[in-house]
Structure 1
């Protein structure tokens, strides 16, 4: 009888450890400030970038989920914001003209803003190409269209449209 009880306790302990390990592994990873590498952004300190970042929402909606503004690790690149964890959406302003912007490039019009999509691995970067400054929103492939629409609204509200520049 003692042997049966000991075996039952051992099995119960093994099940408890397995359940704990499985539930512990399903918790979202802890994240802190988002570290971003700097990229060339010669117009990052321009009044246009200041206006755009000031108008950007503190939350974005992606697939029905509200993504909160995320803290950036220092030193943070200038004119940059991010939302969401663990996969962040990143907005950068004042960038160089994307080399993919050519007269034959396929552009998308979203809420009165022309965007150039540059696909990447696991995410796409969308460039605002018809304003005084170039801005880019990098969006994970799993995100919906809400963030692009919300950032388009901020761009349209603060930056007047300009003719496309190919050089």
Structure 2
């Protein structure tokens, strides 16, 4: 009903409309802020495929089936992460920001030479291949090659836990250089 003097809507209608507009603007702003501040690791993790000719091997199935649901990195428990489709075969990941990625059935790393420096962790021989912000550690003494990519900020826990799984599930074999 218009104001009798000016023909404008009643003051209560104007105040209510203004309050609704402000509430809507605040709601949109809060939604945008929450969505923008959501963890960058939320949702499935997209990974590029890499050559993994033995990914379908029984050894990879055994290793991935036995892999822990969580890994510990610097005292923090990292849950297993869903992979975006199409996910590379025989691949697992843990954590949200700077995830750890385990791949199985890979080609022999070209860095594996008779003079390569290897590290023995819980009975498993690993070859470290440093990268930018992360290192990829290759299991080199088993039937299949597997690799754990670990951010430089991670502790040694993930490598130790995956070593325990590898040692328990895959028998050691002599190193192969060709």
TM-score range, shorter chain: 0.7 to 0.9
Q: Distance in 2 between matches of 1:129 and 1:30?
A: 30
The answer on 1:141 being equivalent to 2:152 is yes
Name the Cα RMSD after superposition. 1.6
Q: Distance in 1 between matches of 2:67 and 2:49?
A: 20
Deviant stretches of 4+, over 6 Å: 23-27
Task: Select 2:69's aligned residue among 46, 58, 75.
Answer: 58
The answer on 1:42 being equivalent to 2:42 is no
CA radius of gyration, larger in: 2
Mark the CA change 1:89 to 1:30 in structure 2 (over 3 Å): closer, same or farther.
closer
Instruction: Name structure 2 gaps, 5 residues minimum.
Output: 1-29
TM-score by length of 1: 0.84
1:74-153 matched pairs, under 5 angstroms: 74-153=85-164
Instruction: Name structure 1 gaps, 5 residues minimum.
Output: 1-19
Q: Distance in 2 between matches of 1:140 and 1:130?
A: 23
- Quote the offset at 1:98 in angstroms: 0.0
TM-score by length of 2: 0.79
Question: How many residues are aligned here?
Answer: 146
